[in-house]
């Protein structure tokens, strides 16, 4: 019908460029229309007895006819650029990853793909263009035909493989790419940067999706996010993402090796396909804990391998050390110390100004520690993992010490927490100091901001999800526990929050709230403000058995030190059958160390331990890298040693879960959104395997490759004459109805 | 020892307590009579006097032994605290009874002449709760075996299972700011006037205490001594300065200990 009315297929209009073929200038067209319009209006004005409405209707129809007639006279046309038959190639890419072996009904995805490749549409493509065939999983490789396929790949790098093919095509006339796949990209190669690079090459990519988009009988544990490190006894909150098609309840279980840790039921809504939930648990034993998360299978679920994921969390043996500098004796100091006294994972080292000339030190390791007061040397300060500054004026610290405090956060990667006080925060001049720059809020300097007035604390939405502020696993109970705390003894007003800052707790003053516990990342570390010195009222105001005050300080202290980097640390990342190692080595002042040798002994799930030398990174000082082959999935641990000559500088350990070949089990559903995104970004289209008739025509209008230009006349389209006829007939009918000539 | 000002206030308290005990909390009324009706400036630390009822059913305010040495003792001592430490201490003292709601806002308590105090089961339970939450109690100015027995009678209701022990010399309370290695009996003014340093049969001074499960002192007992008199008579020419100086040092160490442990 479209083609009968408009003479040409829809794609020609989509891809063609509209022009007027007439040699008459277009201003003449406008002038002719205006002259005709004046004549029509003048003529109709002489017939005022018809009435305004009737005149307007007749006039509008006549003007439309005039416009259409002039439009036809100026020869409207389409300029269409299309691939030249016989001079272009089309790249056809067939996904041969393991997920293409999933059986759906009586056919595997690969059989569906083969059927699509053998369809008439592909046959027609082959007549006009040379077909270059590729297979891909982790990499793309050319093939003569698809009768013999390589072994199924254990990973799908869709974008990486496509880029390989497109780069090869730069030297030849490739008009388009056709990809037959389930879209199960799992190599992490398709990010916005890759997509932009693919689109910039200008070759339309047409994607043919195979596989079911919804699999109601399957549950998939799509993602587990847990911190890499936690302190013994800390409540850990792991975020799990479940993929599902349909409503139900999924039971998630967490194990440390074989030891059961926690379970929770996750309600899966009918209107969602991805549900996120949190599961809380604690780890007591130090070491690298091998955590396994698994979802109970659904009835009739065929693929259970995508119901489980594993991750490793380090529980350090040595306690982290927090330096707390306090300018005057106060109850917050006492009760914070008490709360942390029984926590073996954190040691609070405190330096308290008890008198104008005297310090009192607690929690020190040696008599010399902090003997002369606050450290004057970065090496001494950077031994601590976090720094708490209480009711102390900024001016009490020398400019060099203030710079060290700033460097403690930005360079060393430690946490800094400032407490409220009559000489703290804004009232202590911190807003004008270099340290003020890294704090998460502006500090007012216009008069006293510290108030010894009672105020209730309110946990914010973000705070209620933070493991640091969880007083109960149950959300409602957590809210109740926060809401029933005694009022704080005091608070301090803050200025505006910095753009990257978040408030986890607020304080309620009359009808309004203001931030109380605020944090932001800064450099390699994090800064905090706790705008009160009066949480001690929670301890004194609650029964002895109530542990909320203790829990608050223990969890907050652990949160302060949880992400503080070590001087020497190794991280690892799986990439197919390889593990990429990255070591970072810093000296005691946390400056990158160079001119050293870093060696790692890698212990894999299978095979002998492997010793590798890490090479210095070309662009990042103090960073060393290596690749370790690891074909088997499982626990992967590393012991690394940094040396300068024969002198050992530092040692460290790490462990991780290496997953090789499991990624394909997590592609049970066709990833149609990804295939559509790829096609849309490149000017191609997404096709289903059973509706490919329009594919050859769509490919014909590609601007890539060798093209030809054709002009299609539009003036004689039946649609135009039909409209002209309808306009004239309409006028005639109206005149007849109104009995006017 | 009573001063004239103290006796005047006692008289007022006795009269008003009879009619007004039910209207507002005891500490609110006491504050008003002791320090006037104007707002008191809040500070981090307050010298907080424990108002207790005496033995034989003598109620708070009737005999007022808990007010002994008031107000000069705290006024003088707080001057020393201001001068010698960085504690943000209120210029005036406070008073609170065990059954007041405000009790838990004052983590430091001073009880004087505790040889005459009496804590019933309810008050003892309240004191136990206060101390276990982190409160700190100093008891002072009680002498001889009879007053000790009287004191212990109530204290054992507070902690039936916790022993009262001598505070060892190495305990941090003796070293927080001042190293108090010298154990000197600090006498009351009456004893000094009599030419001795003790009262009744309390010839040997004792620094005793009760510890919590973590080894932290909850209660400090200056037995057979009168630190309150030493603070009160800091400006009395015939009270020996050396006792006042030492009493200040003990008090400052007690306060600092209570704010750090």
Lowest mean pLDDT among A11-15, A33-37, A640-644, B196-200: A11-15
Helix (H, G, I), strand (E, B) or coil at A713: strand
> What DSSP assignment string belongs to B34-99?
HH-SSPPPP-SB--EEEE-EEGGGPPTTTS-GGGTTTTHHHHHHHHHHHHHS---B-SS-EEEETT
Minimal Cβ distance to B107: which of A331, A422, A543:
A331
Question: How far are the Cα atoms of A127, A130, A166, A317, A708 from residue A88, in angstroms, in the given order?
Answer: 11, 6, 14, 65, 11
Q: Tell me, what's the pLDDT at A324?
A: 98
Buried b (16+ CB within 10 A) or exposed e, A632-645: ebebbbbbbbbeee
Minimal Cβ distance to A334: which of B88, B214, B259:
B259
Instruction: Find, among A26, A214, A227, the residue nearest to A104 by Cα.
Output: A214
Nearest-CA distance from A585 to chain B in Å?
A: 38
Q: Tell me, what's the pLDDT at B18?
A: 42
Lowest mean pLDDT among A323-332, A586-595, A659-668, B247-256: A659-668
Judged against a pLDDT cut of 70, whether residue B23 lies above it is answered with no
Residue B62 binned pLDDT confidence (cut-offs 50, 70, 90): very low
Q: What is the mean pLDDT of residues A492-504?
A: 96
Residues 6+ apart with CB under 8 A from A608: none
Residue window 241-260, chain B: list those with CB within 8 Å of chain A: 255-256, 258-260
Helices (H) and strands (E) counted in chain A, each on its own, are: 18, 36
According to DSSP, residue A144 is labeled S
Lowest mean pLDDT among A172-176, A669-673, A711-715, B17-21: B17-21
**Residues A606 and A631: beta-carbon distance below 8 Å:** yes
Interchain contact, A355 vs B259, CB within 8 Å: no
| Distance, CA of A683 to CA of A687 (rounded, Å) | 13
| Distance, CA of A314 to CA of A606 (rounded, Å) | 22
Helix (H, G, I), strand (E, B) or coil at A94: strand
Residues 6+ apart with CB under 8 A from B98: B50, B52, B119, B123, B126, B127, B130
Residue of A nearest to B212 (CA): A338
The sign of the dihedral angle between the CA atoms of A600, A601, A604, A606 is: positive
Question: How far are the Cα atoms of A266, B33, B94, B107, B143 from residue B50, in angstroms, in the given order?
Answer: 55, 15, 9, 11, 19
pTM over 0.90: no
Nearest-CA distance from A431 to chain B in Å?
A: 23
Q: Tell me, what's the pLDDT at A22?
A: 87
B161-200 per-position pLDDT tens digit: 999 999 999 999 999 999 999 899 999 999 999 999 999 9
Interchain contact, B87 vs A328, CB within 8 Å: yes
Interchain contact, B86 vs A328, CB within 8 Å: yes
Greatest mean pLDDT among A2-16, A78-92, B113-127 lies in: B113-127
B88-114 per-position pLDDT tens digit: 999 989 999 999 999 999 999 999 999
SS (H, E, C) A232-287: CCCEEEEEEEEECCCCEEEEEEEEECCEEEEEEEEEECCCCCEEEEEEEEECCCCE
Q: Tell me, what's the pLDDT at B12?
A: 47
The residue ranking higher by pLDDT, B247 or A703, is: B247
Helix (H, G, I), strand (E, B) or coil at A427: helix
Instruction: Find, among A513, A563, A506, the residue nearest to A530 by Cα.
Output: A506
Judged against a pLDDT cut of 70, whether residue A397 lies above it is answered with yes
Q: With an 8 Å Cβ cutoff, is A422 touching chain B?
A: yes
Q: What are A617's two structure tokens? A: 């990174």
Nearest-CA distance from A341 to chain B in Å?
A: 9
Question: How far are the Cα atoms of B33, B94, B112, B215, B218 from residue B48, in angstroms, in the given order?
Answer: 15, 5, 11, 24, 15
HSE (side-chain half, CA atoms, 13 Å) at A304:
8
Q: Tell me, what's the pLDDT at A739?
A: 78
Question: How far are the Cα atoms of A352, A418, A533 from residue A391, in angstroms, in the given order?
Answer: 10, 9, 8
Q: Which residues of B touch A334 (CB under 8 A)?
A: 107, 134, 258-261
Question: How far are the Cα atoms of B50, B94, B123 from residue B99, in angstroms, in the given order?
Answer: 11, 15, 7
Residue A459 binned pLDDT confidence (cut-offs 50, 70, 90): very high
In sequence order, the β-bridge partners of residue A388 are A324, A417
Q: What are A403's two structure tokens? A: 């710079």
Instruction: Find, among A377, A396, A236, the residue nearest to A325 by Cα.
Output: A396
| Distance, CA of B9 to CA of A472 (rounded, Å) | 51
Average pLDDT, chain A: 91
Q: Tell me, what's the pLDDT at A444?
A: 94
Helix (H, G, I), strand (E, B) or coil at A92: strand
Nearest-CA distance from A410 to chain B in Å?
A: 31
In sequence order, the β-bridge partners of residue A290 are A312
Q: Which residues of A touch B43 (CB under 8 A)?
A: 452
**Best residue in A351, A354, A541, A546 to probe B by mutation, most B CBs within 10 Å?**
A354
Minimal Cβ distance to A353: which of B86, B176, B255:
B86
Average pLDDT, chain B: 89
**Residues A572 and A480: beta-carbon distance below 8 Å:** no
Judged against a pLDDT cut of 60, whether residue A152 lies above it is answered with yes
Q: Is residue A336 within a helix (H) or strand (E), and if so which, with residue range? A: helix A331-341
Burial (CB < 10 A; 0-12, 13-18, 19+), residue B101, is exposed
**Residues A350 and A333: beta-carbon distance below 8 Å:** yes
SS (H, E, C) A458-500: EECHHHHHCHHHCCCCCHHHHHHHHHCCCCECCEECCCCECCC
Q: Tell me, what's the pLDDT at A202?
A: 87
Q: Tell me, what's the pLDDT at B64?
A: 79
Report percent pLDDT > 70 for chain A.
100
Residue of B nearest to A355 (CA): B85
Interchain contact, A355 vs B84, CB within 8 Å: yes
Instruction: Find, among B110, B98, B114, the residue nearest to B152 by Cα.
Output: B114
How many pairs of residues across A and B have Cβ atoms under 8 Å apart?
A: 80
**Residues A482 and A457: beta-carbon distance below 8 Å:** yes
> What DSSP assignment string belongs to B203-253?
-S-EEEEEE-TTS-EEEEEEETB-HHHHHHGGG-TTS-HHHHHHHHHHHHH
Q: With an 8 Å Cβ cutoff, is A396 touching chain B?
A: no
Q: Which residues of A touch B45 (CB under 8 A)?
A: 329-330
Q: Tell me, what's the pLDDT at A637?
A: 94
Interchain contact, A329 vs B84, CB within 8 Å: no
Nearest-CA distance from B255 to chain A in Å?
A: 9
A585-639 per-position pLDDT tens digit: 999 999 999 899 999 999 988 888 999 999 999 999 999 999 999 888 889 999 9
Find the angle CA(A312)-CA(A314)-CA(A318) to the nearest 5 degrees. Answer: 170
Q: With an 8 Å Cβ cutoff, is A541 touching chain B?
A: yes
Q: Which residues of A touch B87 (CB under 8 A)?
A: 328-330
| Distance, CA of A163 to CA of A140 (rounded, Å) | 9
A57-66 per-position pLDDT tens digit: 888 999 999 9
Residue of B nearest to A330 (CA): B259
Q: What are B205's two structure tokens? A: 């001074």
| Distance, CA of A301 to CA of A243 (rounded, Å) | 13
Q: How would you classify the pairing of strands A358-362 and A346-355?
A: antiparallel
Q: What are B106's two structure tokens? A: 């004052």
| Distance, CA of A680 to CA of A205 (rounded, Å) | 8
Q: Which residues of A touch B42 (CB under 8 A)?
A: 452
In sequence order, the β-bridge partners of residue A180 are A94, A208
Nearest-CA distance from B103 to chain A in Å?
A: 9
A718-727 per-position pLDDT tens digit: 999 999 999 9
Interchain contact, B134 vs A539, CB within 8 Å: yes
A519-535 per-position pLDDT tens digit: 999 999 999 999 999 99
Judged against a pLDDT cut of 90, whether residue A133 lies above it is answered with yes
Interchain contact, A540 vs B104, CB within 8 Å: yes
| Distance, CA of A397 to CA of B48 (rounded, Å) | 34
Question: Which residue matches tokens 């708070």?
Answer: B60
| Distance, CA of B94 to CA of B109 (rounded, Å) | 10
Q: Tell me, what's the pLDDT at A741?
A: 64
Peptide bond preceding A470 in cis form (omega within 30 of 0): no
Interchain contact, B177 vs A541, CB within 8 Å: no
Four-CA torsion A602, A605, A609, A614, nearest 10 degrees = -20
Q: Tell me, what's the pLDDT at A655?
A: 93
Residue window 338-377, chain A: list those with CB within 8 Å of chain B: 338, 341-342, 352-356, 358, 360, 362
Q: Tell me, what's the pLDDT at B109?
A: 98
Q: How would you classify the pairing of strands A386-389 and A415-419?
A: parallel
Residues 6+ apart with CB under 8 A from A223: A239, A240, A241, A309
Minimal Cβ distance to A355: which of B86, B134, B261:
B86
Q: Which residues of B touch A333 (CB under 8 A)?
A: 259-260
A199-229 per-position pLDDT tens digit: 988 899 999 999 999 988 899 999 898 888 8
In sequence order, the β-bridge partners of residue A143 are A133
User: How many residues does the structure list for chain A?
Assistant: 741
Minimal Cβ distance to B132: which of A333, A489, A544:
A544
Q: Which residues of A touch B173 (CB under 8 A)?
A: none
**Residues B93 and B70: beta-carbon distance below 8 Å:** yes
| Distance, CA of A331 to CA of A310 (rounded, Å) | 44
Question: Which residue matches tokens 């130090």?
Answer: A286
Interchain contact, A355 vs B129, CB within 8 Å: no
Nearest-CA distance from A438 to chain B in Å?
A: 28
Q: Tell me, what's the pLDDT at B116?
A: 93
Minimal Cβ distance to A334: which of B88, B132, B260:
B260
């Amino acid at each position: 019908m479209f083609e009968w009315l408009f003479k040409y297929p829809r794609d020609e209009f989509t891809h063609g460029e509209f022009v007027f073929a007439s040699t008459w200038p277009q201003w003449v067209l406008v002038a002719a229309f205006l002259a005709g319009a004046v004549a029509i209006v003048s003529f109709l004005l002489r017939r005022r007895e018809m009435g305004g409405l009737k005149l307007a209707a007749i006039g509008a129809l006549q003007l439309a006819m005039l416009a259409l007639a002039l439009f036809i006279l100026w020869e409207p046309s389409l300029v269409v650029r299309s691939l030249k038959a016989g001079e272009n190639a089309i790249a056809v890419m067939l996904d041969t990853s393991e997920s293409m072996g999933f059986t759906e009904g009586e056919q595997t995805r690969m059989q569906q793909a083969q059927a699509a490749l053998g369809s008439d549409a592909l046959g027609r493509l082959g007549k006009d263009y040379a077909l270059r065939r590729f297979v891909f999983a982790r990499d793309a490789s050319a093939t003569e035909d698809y009768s013999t396929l390589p072994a199924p790949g254990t990973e799908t790098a869709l974008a990486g493989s496509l880029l390989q093919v497109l780069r090869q095509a730069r030297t030849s006339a490739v008009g388009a790419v056709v990809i037959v796949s389930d879209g199960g990209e799992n190599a992490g190669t398709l990010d916005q940067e890759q997509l932009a690079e693919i689109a910039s090459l200008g070759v339309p990519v047409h994607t043919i999706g195979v596989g079911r988009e919804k699999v109601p009988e399957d549950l998939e544990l799509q993602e587990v996010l847990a911190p890499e490190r936690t302190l013994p006894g800390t409540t850990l909150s792991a975020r799990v993402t479940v993929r599902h098609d349909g409503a139900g309840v999924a039971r998630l279980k967490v194990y440390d090796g074989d030891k059961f840790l926690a379970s929770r039921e996750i309600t899966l809504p009918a209107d969602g396909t991805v549900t996120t939930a949190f599961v809380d648990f604690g780890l007591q034993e130090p070491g690298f804990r091998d955590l396994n998360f698994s979802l109970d299978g659904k009835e009739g679920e065929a693929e259970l391998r995508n119901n489980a994921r594993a991750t490793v969390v380090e529980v350090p043996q040595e306690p982290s050390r927090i330096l707390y500098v306090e300018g005057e004796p106060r109850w917050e100091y006492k009760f914070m110390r008490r709360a942390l006294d029984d926590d073996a994972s954190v040691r609070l080292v405190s330096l308290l100004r008890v008198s104008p000339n005297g310090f009192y030190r607690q929690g020190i390791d040696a008599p010399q520690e902090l003997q002369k007061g606050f450290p004057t040397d970065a090496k001494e300060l950077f031994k601590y993992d976090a720094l708490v500054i209480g009711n102390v004026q900024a001016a009490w610290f020398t400019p060099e010490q203030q710079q060290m405090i700033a460097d403690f956060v930005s360079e060393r990667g430690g946490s800094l927490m400032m407490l409220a006080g009559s000489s703290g925060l804004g009232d202590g001049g911190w807003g004008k100091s270099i340290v003020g720059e890294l704090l998460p809020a502006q500090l007012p300097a216009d008069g006293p901001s510290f108030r010894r007035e009672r105020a209730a604390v309110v946990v914010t939405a973000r705070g209620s999800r933070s493991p640091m502020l969880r007083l109960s696993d149950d959300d409602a109970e957590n809210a109740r526990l926060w809401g029933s705390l005694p009022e704080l003894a005091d608070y301090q007003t803050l200025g505006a929050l910095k753009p990257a800052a978040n408030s986890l707790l607020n304080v309620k003053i009359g009808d309004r709230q203001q931030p109380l516990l605020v944090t932001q990342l800064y450099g390699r570390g994090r800064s905090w403000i706790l705008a009160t010195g009066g949480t001690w009222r929670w301890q004194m105001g609650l029964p002895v058995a109530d542990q909320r005050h203790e829990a608050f300080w223990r969890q907050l202290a652990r949160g302060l030190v949880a992400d503080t980097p070590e001087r020497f640390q190794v991280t690892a990342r799986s990439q197919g059958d390889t593990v990429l190692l990255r070591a970072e080595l810093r000296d005691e002042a946390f400056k990158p160390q160079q001119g050293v040798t870093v060696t790692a002994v890698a212990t894999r799930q299978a095979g002998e331990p492997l010793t590798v030398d890490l090479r210095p990174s070309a662009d990042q000082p103090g960073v060393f890298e290596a690749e370790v082959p690891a074909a088997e999935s499982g626990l992967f641990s590393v012991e690394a040693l940094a040396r300068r000559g024969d002198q050992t500088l530092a040692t460290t350990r790490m462990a991780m879960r290496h997953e090789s070949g499991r990624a394909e089990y997590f592609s049970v559903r066709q990833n149609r959104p990804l295939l559509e995104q790829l096609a849309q970004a490149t000017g191609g289209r997404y096709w289903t395997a059973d509706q490919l008739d329009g594919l050859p025509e769509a490919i014909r209008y590609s601007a890539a490759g060798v093209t030809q230009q054709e002009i299609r006349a539009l003036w004689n389209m039946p649609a135009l004459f039909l409209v002209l006829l309808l306009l004239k007939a309409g006028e005639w009918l109206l005149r007849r109805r109104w009995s006017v000539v | 020892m009573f001063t004239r000002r103290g006796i005047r206030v006692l008289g007022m308290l006795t009269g008003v307590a009879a009619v007004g005990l039910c209207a507002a909390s005891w500490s609110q009324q006491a504050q008003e009579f002791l320090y006037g009706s104007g707002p008191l400036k809040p500070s981090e630390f307050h010298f907080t006097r424990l108002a207790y009822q005496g033995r034989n059913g003598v109620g708070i305010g009737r005999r007022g032994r808990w007010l002994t040495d008031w107000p000069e003792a705290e006024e003088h001592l707080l001057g020393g605290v201001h001068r010698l430490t960085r504690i943000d201490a209120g210029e005036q003292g406070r008073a609170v009874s065990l059954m007041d709601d405000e009790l838990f806002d004052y983590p430091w308590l001073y009880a004087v002449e505790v040889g005459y105090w009496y804590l019933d089961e309810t008050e003892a339970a309240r004191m136990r709760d206060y101390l276990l939450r982190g409160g700190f109690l100093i008891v002072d100015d009680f002498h001889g075996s009879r007053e000790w027995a009287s004191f212990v009678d109530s204290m054992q209701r507070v902690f039936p299972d916790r022993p009262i022990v001598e505070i060892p010399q190495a305990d941090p309370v003796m070293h927080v700011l001042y190293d108090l290695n010298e154990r000197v009996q600090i006498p009351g003014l009456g004893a000094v006037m009599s030419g001795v340093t003790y009262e009744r049969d309390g010839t040997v001074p004792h620094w005793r205490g009760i510890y919590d499960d973590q080894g932290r002192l909850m209660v400090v007992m200056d037995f057979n001594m009168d630190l309150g008199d030493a603070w009160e008579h800091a400006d009395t020419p015939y009270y020996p300065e050396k006792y006042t100086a030492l009493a200040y040092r003990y008090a400052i160490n007690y306060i600092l200990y209570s704010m750090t442990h």
